[in-house]
Chains A and B, each alone.
Chain A
Amino acid sequence: MRAISRLGQLVLGGLEWLGGLTGLAVTLIRVGLRRPWGIDDIASQMVHLGVRSLPIALFISVFIGMILAVQFGSALRDFGATMALGDASSLALVRELVPTLLALTVGSKMAAGISAELGSMKVTEQIDAVAALGADPIKKLVWPRVVAATLSQPLLVVMGNVIALLGGMLIGEWVYGVPAGYFYETYIDELAPMDYIQSLTKGTAFGLLVGLIGCYQGFNTKFGTEAVGVSTTETVVAISIWIIIADFFITMMFY
């Protein structure tokens, strides 16, 4: 009985959270699509969220490419088909691994950062101060972060796709003796425009989730410095869950 009650509370809590997130999204559309556009704030957040995430995004991407090439190469060698390494790697990397793993790592980092920053602002009444000074906290704080995350994540995915290709190429050449030029040609030949679109769609959707969930969690931080830690941890958990869910539905949409 207690287990059922707890399950019920969990479901209700989840629905409440989802309702709050949807409410924030609706408010964001309402206030965001009004002048001023906040271009300076968006640009500043893109530097903060996107450009500063570039090194880790590139580092992760090159290793994703290398790891996948090692795994596929090992299997293909058993069939004497290592020359198919480029074809085999490309779809998995571009459609799935690069956008999803970047979202789970770099995206989580972005969302946790947003959540911690806004949570600290909430605890120290800076969000109230924004409102008290006559500005709209959603427009001033949420809008630039959500837009910047939504634009930054697909750009990181583009960079990540290129770097993952290079990682796979390195392993192909050094470990399996697949010439780099051949790897590149077979890799690119395997990809259709829709694969790039799928990759960018995932990057954009994940970026939107990163921005929204990070801001929502930050704005709903309870009082006390401990609450900021709790909120940030919950953000990482929520991002992980919702990115996997969104990944499934976007993947289904393209089949």
Chain B
Amino acid sequence: MGDTVQASVPVIEFVGVSKAFGENSVYENMNLTVRPGETLTIIGGSGQGKSVCLKMMIGLLRVDAGVVRVAGEDVAGLDGEGLRRVRRRVAYVFQGGALFDSMNVLDNIGYALREHTAMDDIAIRERALACLDLVAMPSDMLDAMPANLSGGQRKRVALARSIAIEPEVILYDEPTTGLDPRNITRIGDMIKKLQKELRVTSVVVTHDMPTARKVSDRVAMLYQRSFPFIGTVEQIWHSELAEVRDFVHGTLRRTSGTGATIVTEAPHGA
């Protein structure tokens, strides 16, 4: 389990958020806070909208109702420059890596640096090497093209790309999906290492419970368009609630109906 985090002003805050795609409602009156320095893991079944939550955090998707605040700023109210500012502070590691196929590893890692800073090529190369080192990739990979990387390497390069700009928050979208057990362990270790060394706040979306258990300070479980359970790893792991227990230790039952009343919010500062 990750280090315990003191309650503080939220870095990211969802207040009464609703989001639907056509007739398919993903969130209804959803509330969630992410505290500075913590690793919050969002768990839930496939296709329930965990990634949607991350995308709303950096304005890639807009809420239908409610407010998403990042460092106190309402993301929905931001113009292009405001979003740029938010995305300078909040990095996103995509599920498949989303490396740019036409660029080598160096240019992928340097992309945000060229976009946000006036660093020259030499400085960008040095930063890229340092980032590769942080994600345990050899320096000779700098000129490799994404097509020549394995799944695990692509995820690590994506991780290196996200930390190059020294963000305050890193959002991980299913970081261990499609990886073998060795790479799953490695990515989990890396998330912990980055949080410790870079002191970033992390939000991890996953349905991989061992990884969630390893990296999380708190866990939020998405169920019936909201987060009815938010607590520490131990609280969720030992929950007596059927819905939570079924998900953590097996398969979540698909239920219909309105409003889940699974459990209350875990005590702040837990």
Contact = CB atoms under 8 A, between A and B. Distances in A.
Q: Verify that A and B bind, or say they do not.
A: yes
B247 interface: no
A129 B80 contact: no
A134 B94 contact: no
Contacts of B95: 125
A136 interface: yes
Interface in B68-118: 80, 83-84, 87-88, 91-92, 94-96, 98-101, 111-112, 115-116
Contacts of B165: 133-134
Contacts of A135: 111, 115
A134 B60 contact: no
B60 A131 contact: yes
Contact of A134 (B55, B96, B100, B112): B112
A128 B60 contact: yes
B131 interface: no
Contacts of A194: none
Contact of B94 (A31, A120, A128): A128
A148 B255 CA distance: 53
A134 B101 contact: no
B46 to A, nearest CB: 14
Contacts of B55: 128
A130 B99 CA distance: 10
B87 A133 contact: yes
Interface residues of A, number: 15
B58 interface: yes
B181 to A, nearest CB: 25
Nearest to B95: A125
A134 B98 contact: no
A104 B95 CA distance: 38
A133 B116 CA distance: 9
Contacts of A120: 101
A215 to B, nearest CB: 16
A125 B88 contact: no
Chain B's interface size range is 20 to 34
A132 interface: yes
B87 A129 contact: no
B60 A132 contact: yes
A22 interface: no
B87 A134 contact: yes
Interface string A116-142: 000011001110111111111000000
Given A134-B87, A134-B88, A136-B80, A129 B100 contact: yes
Nearest to A34: B80
Contacts of B94: 125, 128-129, 132
B211 to A, nearest CB: 20
A12 to B, nearest CB: 16
A132 B111 contact: no
Interface of B: 55, 58, 60, 80, 83-84, 87-88, 91-92, 94-96, 98-101, 111-112, 115-116, 161, 165
Given A124-B98, A132-B91, A133-B115, 19 more contacts: A31-B80, A120-B101, A124-B96, A125-B94, A126-B98, A126-B101, A128-B98, A129-B98, A129-B99, A131-B83, A132-B87, A133-B111, A133-B161, A133-B165, A134-B84, A134-B112, A134-B115, A134-B116, A136-B80
30 contacts: A120-B101, A124-B96, A124-B98, A124-B101, A125-B94, A125-B95, A125-B96, A125-B98, A126-B98, A126-B99, A126-B100, A126-B101, A128-B60, A128-B92, A128-B94, A128-B98, A129-B92, A129-B99, A129-B100, A130-B100, A131-B60, A132-B58, A132-B91, A132-B92, A133-B87, A133-B111, A133-B165, A134-B112, A134-B116, A135-B111
